[in-house]
Amino acid sequence: MTFQKDIGRDCPRAWEAMPWVLQGDASPVQGAWLNMHLAECQACREEFAQQERLRAALALSPELDIDAEAGLARLLSRIDEADPQQAAPSRRAASSHWMTRALVAAVLVQAVGIGVLGIKLGGDGAGHAAAPVYRTLSQEAAPAAPGSLHVVPVATLKVAEWNTLLRQYHLRVVGGPNDVGAYTLVSTDGNAPTPQTLQGLRADPGIRFAEPVTDTP
Amino acid sequence: MPPEPMSEAELDADAVDRMLLQRMSAGDRAALAVMYRGYHGRLVRFLSRLTRRTDVVEEAINDCFWIAWQKAATFQGDSRVSTWIMGIAYRCGLKALRQHGSEPVDEDSVPEDRTPSHDPGEDREMRDWLGKGLDRLSADQRVVIELVYGIGHTLDDVATIMQCPVGTVKARLFHARVKLRNVLPGLAGERTINREIVP
């Protein structure tokens, strides 16, 4: 007996309905009709059995065993590398505005305080030349305040990127981060950072704020 | 056959997907991670019908979610999110194949640990049976078979995913089924099929 001989008028209709009945997407009427047809048509019954086996075989777990977590980690790295500023575009847009203002205000207040303190100490130093000067170890190691910078990196800046920036502009960290996340930087060669350095830092997307300490009123 | 409306479970799944997509459009990486993990197995199986090269499948999956991350805000909602994702994955799979060549990996080059650890004899037999059949199909035919029988998409969904007319999908499905029937040893012996039953 061949399949060809078994084909009846309803067989093409049954053939077409099989995948959707198997999926459970066919209407109850269509499902009932197919069952009736299968009961009286051996060829379609065999075809339907093979379709069921095909579906069962396709439902087996894939032979390729690929680690989802490793793939996800690579995807997130790719997103980071492409543009760290795009990590959370909308939220960042909404929150960065007031956050930047707050940080700028806080750093300015701090810079003013340091300036006033510096003037006061300078005045005191002139009148008390013989008095012993108290210094901490960190003050000993760091160059004088003039020429240093206050810099606030963005929260998403990676350590490697931060280090690259420091190398690029020949800077090193001598203090911070303070309460508002500002670092104090000085030139590695002991000279005051150039205006180009300041300009470059301000233009860098990884830097939220950069101001010279001595230029602040 | 007109497609049935989505079931309640499908509606729920799509609602969750839409919510995740909305969060992704706002830059929520946690939502991206949920979506990625949720679709990973399905995409591995789907893309493995295009190629057995692990590197190509991995690349296509990550390209797919890279695009989904960037385009989340542009999702129009004309289809289910799953249909949208599968369509992106299909195009990424084709692109990766063009870039890396479509030659399948040699069986011997597949590491032992790449095969499922639990593979009872019956499953192995069924895999071999399926593999023999799928090897005789074109890539497009394998994709249609996977989308319809493996994942359970409708003809309209498959047409959207493959960006072709429904008639083309029907033809691919029909020819794939005829080939499978002629190639695979059936439950009651081998037969040939008459073209007269073309819908």
Nearest to A58 among B149, B191, B193 (CB): B149
Distance CA A32, CA B110 (A): 45
Give the residue-averaged pLDDT of B98-106: 64
Nearest to A20 among B1, B187, B193 (CB): B1
* Nearest-by-CA chain A residue for B197: A12
Q: Which of A30, A38, A55, A61 to mutate to test the interface with B (most CBs of B within 10 A)?
A: A61
Dump strand ranges (E) for chain B: none
pLDDT recorded at residue A122: 59
* Nearest-by-CA chain A residue for B40: A68
Distance CA A5, CA B53 (A): 43
- B81-100 and B8-25 helices, crossing angle to 10°: 70
Res A172 pLDDT > 70: yes
Nearest CA to B3 out of A77, A25, A63 is that of A25
Supply the DSSP symbol for A126: H
Angle (CA) A172-A174-A178 rounded to 5° is 120
pLDDT recorded at residue B159: 94
Q: Give Cα separations from A16 to A27, B142, B199 (angstroms).
A: 13, 18, 7
pLDDT recorded at residue B90: 95
Distance CA B162, CA B171 (A): 13
Chains A, B: CB contacts under 8 A, how many? 160
Contact B126 A57 (CB under 8 A): yes
Res A17 pLDDT > 70: yes
Question: Closest approach of chain A CAs to the CA of B186, in angstroms?
Answer: 6
Contact A88 B146 (CB under 8 A): no
Q: Give Cα separations from A143 to A120, A191, A210, B120 (angstroms).
A: 19, 10, 18, 72
Nearest CA to A34 out of A18, A54, A51 is that of A18
pLDDT recorded at residue B103: 56
Q: Are B54 and A64 in contact (CB under 8 A)?
A: yes
Nearest to A7 among B4, B25, B197 (CB): B197
* Nearest-by-CA chain B residue for A84: B27
Give the residue-averaged pLDDT of B19-28: 92
> A161 or A74: whose pLDDT is higher?
A74
Least confident of A11-15, A212-216, B107-111: B107-111
Distance CA A166, CA A176 (A): 14
Q: Are B178 and A12 in contact (CB under 8 A)?
A: no
Contact list in B for residue A26 (CB cut-off 8 A) is 1, 4
Question: Closest approach of chain B CAs to the CA of A88, in angstroms?
Answer: 4
Contact A61 B116 (CB under 8 A): yes
For tokens 């493959």, name the residue: B162
Contact B187 A53 (CB under 8 A): yes
Res A16 pLDDT > 70: yes
* Nearest-by-CA chain A residue for B122: A57
Q: The tokens of A135 are what?
A: 């210094």
Question: Closest approach of chain A CAs to the CA of B71, in angstroms?
Answer: 13
Q: Which of B28, B85, B149 to mutate to test the interface with A (most CBs of A within 10 A)?
A: B149
Number of neighbours of residue B187 by Cβ within 10 angstroms = 12
Angle (CA) B90-A61-B66 rounded to 5° is 35
Q: Are B35 and B21 in contact (CB under 8 A)?
A: yes
pLDDT recorded at residue A18: 92
The alpha carbon dihedral of A100, A103, A109, A110 has a sign of: negative
pLDDT recorded at residue B97: 87
Contact list in B for residue A25 (CB cut-off 8 A) is 3-4, 152, 154
Res A133 pLDDT > 70: no
Contact A88 B40 (CB under 8 A): no
pTM over 0.80: no
Contact B187 A78 (CB under 8 A): no
Q: Which amino acid is at A184?
A: T
Distance CA A149, CA A197 (A): 10
Q: Are A197 and A147 in contact (CB under 8 A)?
A: no
Give the residue-averaged pLDDT of B92-108: 72
Contact A64 B44 (CB under 8 A): yes
Contact A64 B52 (CB under 8 A): yes
Question: Closest approach of chain B CAs to the CA of A171, in angstroms?
Answer: 33
